[in-house]
Chain A
Amino acid sequence: MYRIVRKESLRPTVNLYEIEAPLIAKKAQPGQFIILRVDENGERIPITINNHDPEKGTVTIIVQTVGATTEKLSHLNAGDCLQDFVGPLGKATETEGKKKVCVVGGGVGCAIAYPVLKKFHDDGAEVHAVIGFKSRDLVILEDDFRSSSDVLKICTDDGSYGRKGLVTEALKELIEEGNQYDEVFAIGPMIMMKFVSKTTEPYGIPTTVSMSPIMIDGTGMCGGCRLSVGGEMKFACVDGPDFDGHKVDWDLAVKRNQMYQEFEMHKHEETCNLFKKEAE
Chain B
Amino acid sequence: MANMSLTKNPMLAQDPNVRNRNFEEVALGYTEEQALDEAQRCLHCKNKPCMAGCPVMVHIPEFIAETAKGNFEEAYQIISHTSALPAVCGRVCPQESQCEMYCVRGKKGESVAIGRLERFVADWHNAHSTVAPEKPASNGHKVAVVGSGPSGLTCAGDLARKGYEVTVFEALHLAGGVLVYGIPEFRLPKSIVQKEVDGLKALGVTIATDTVVGRTLSIDELMEEYGFEAVFVGSGAGLPMFMDIPGINYRGVYSANEFLTRINLMKAYLPDSDTPIQHPKKVAVVGGGNVAMDAARCAKRLGAEVYVVYRRGMEELPARKEEVEHAEEEGIVFKTLHNPVAILADENDDVCRLRCIRMELGEPDASGRRRPVEIPDSEFELDVDSVIMALGTSPNPLIKSTTKGLEINKKGGIVVNEDGLTSRENVYAGGDAVTGAATVILAMGAGKTAAKAIDEAISRK
Is B104 an interface position by the 8 A CB rule?
Answer: no
- What is the 8 Å Cβ interface bit string for chain A, positions 82-95, against chain B (1 contact, 0 not)? 01111111000000
A24–B239 alpha-carbon span in the complex (Å): 24
* B348 in the interface (beta carbon within 8 A): yes
Residue of B nearest to A226 (CB): B249
Chain B residue at minimum C-beta to C-beta distance from A221: B238
Size category of the binding interface on chain B: 35 or more
Q: Are B239 and A220 in contact (CB under 8 A)?
A: yes
Q: How large is the interface on A (under 10, 10 to 19, 20 to 34, 35 or more residues)?
A: 35 or more
What distance in Å separates the Cβ of A22 from its nearest Cβ neighbour in chain B? 10
CB contact under 8 A between A220 and B215, given known A41-B274, A233-B248, A267-B274: no
Given that A86-B212, A216-B266, A255-B349 are contacting pairs, would A223 and B242 also be in contact in the complex, using a CB cutoff of 8 Å?
yes
Chain B binder among A131-139, A150-158, A178-186, A258-266: A258-266
From B17-25, B251-259, B304-312, the one touching the partner chain is B251-259
Supposing A41-B267, A86-B173, A226-B249 touch, asked if A221 and B240 sit within 8 A by C-beta, the answer is yes
- Chain A 202-241 per-residue mask, 1 if CB under 8 angstroms from chain B, else 0: 0000000000000011011111101110000100001000
**Given contacts A42-B274, A85-B210, is CB(A233)–CB(B242) below 8 Å?**
yes
Among B208-228, those with CB < 8 Å from A are 209-212, 215-217
Cβ distance A37 to chain B, nearest Cβ, rounded Å: 6
Write out the residue numbers on chain A whose beta carbons fall within 8 Å of the beta carbon of B212.
Answer: 86-87, 89, 219
Partner of B249, one of A24, A41, A216, A233: A233
Question: Which chain B residue lies CB-closest to A264?
Answer: B276
Residue A111 at the chain B interface, CB threshold 8 Å: no
Q: Is the interface of B mostly helix, strand, loop or mixed?
A: loop
Chain A residues within an 8 Å CB radius of B270:
41
A44: CB under 8 A from chain B? yes
Contact A87 B215 (CB under 8 A): yes
| CB proximity to B under 8 Å, residues A17-41 | 23-24, 27, 37, 41
Asked if B315 is at the interface of the complex by the 8 Å CB criterion, the answer is no
A61 within 8 A of B: no
Please state if B258 and A216 are interface contacts (CB–CB under 8 Å): yes
The complex places the Cα of A42 from the Cα of B268 at a distance, in Å, of 10
- The verdict on B2 contacting chain A, using a C-beta distance below 8 Å, is no
Complex CA distance for A85 and B209, rounded to whole angstroms? 10
| Chain A residue at minimal CB-CB distance from B345 | A255
Name the distance in Å between A58's Cβ and chain B's nearest Cβ: 15
Contact with B along A52-73 (1 / 0, CB 8 A): 0000000000000000110000
B5 within 8 A of A: no
Given contact pairs A41-B267, A44-B266, A256-B249, A223 touches B272 in the complex (Cβ within 8 A) = no
Given A219-B238, A222-B255, A84 and B217 contact (CB-CB distance below 8 Å)? no
**Is B172 located at the chain interface by the 8 A CB criterion?**
yes
Docked Cα-Cα span, A223 to B172, in Å, equals: 15
A279 contacts partner chain B, Cβ-Cβ < 8 Å: no
Interchain nearest-CB distance for A70 vs B (Å): 11
Q: When the two chains form the complex, which single residue of B209, B216, B251, B278 contacts A23, counting CB atoms closer than 8 Å?
A: B216
Residues of A near B398 (CB, < 8 A) are 219-220, 238
Q: Mark B187-209, 1 if CB is under 8 A from A, else 0.
A: 00000000000000000000001
Q: Are B251 and A255 in contact (CB under 8 A)?
A: yes
Interface flags, B133-145, vs A, CB<8A=1, else 0? 0000000000000
Which residues of A sit under 8 angstroms from B272, Cβ to Cβ? 41
**For B242, what are the chain A residues with a Cβ–Cβ distance below 8 Å?**
223, 226, 233
17 of the cross-chain contacts (CB-CB < 8 Å) are A23-B211, A41-B274, A43-B273, A84-B210, A85-B210, A217-B172, A219-B238, A222-B240, A222-B255, A223-B254, A223-B257, A223-B258, A224-B255, A233-B242, A255-B348, A263-B276, A264-B276
Q: Which positions in A face B, CB cutoff 8 Å?
A: 23-24, 27, 37, 41-44, 68-69, 83-89, 216-217, 219-224, 226-228, 233, 238, 249, 251-252, 255-256, 259-260, 263-264, 267
Contacts from B to A (Cβ < 8 Å): 171-173, 181, 209-212, 215-217, 238-240, 242, 248-249, 251, 254-255, 257-258, 261-262, 266-267, 270, 272-276, 278, 348-349, 396-398
19 further interface pairs, Cβ-Cβ under 8 Å (given A86-B171, A221-B240)? A24-B216, A37-B173, A41-B270, A41-B274, A43-B276, A44-B275, A69-B274, A85-B210, A86-B212, A87-B216, A219-B212, A219-B398, A222-B261, A224-B258, A228-B249, A255-B251, A256-B251, A264-B276, A267-B276
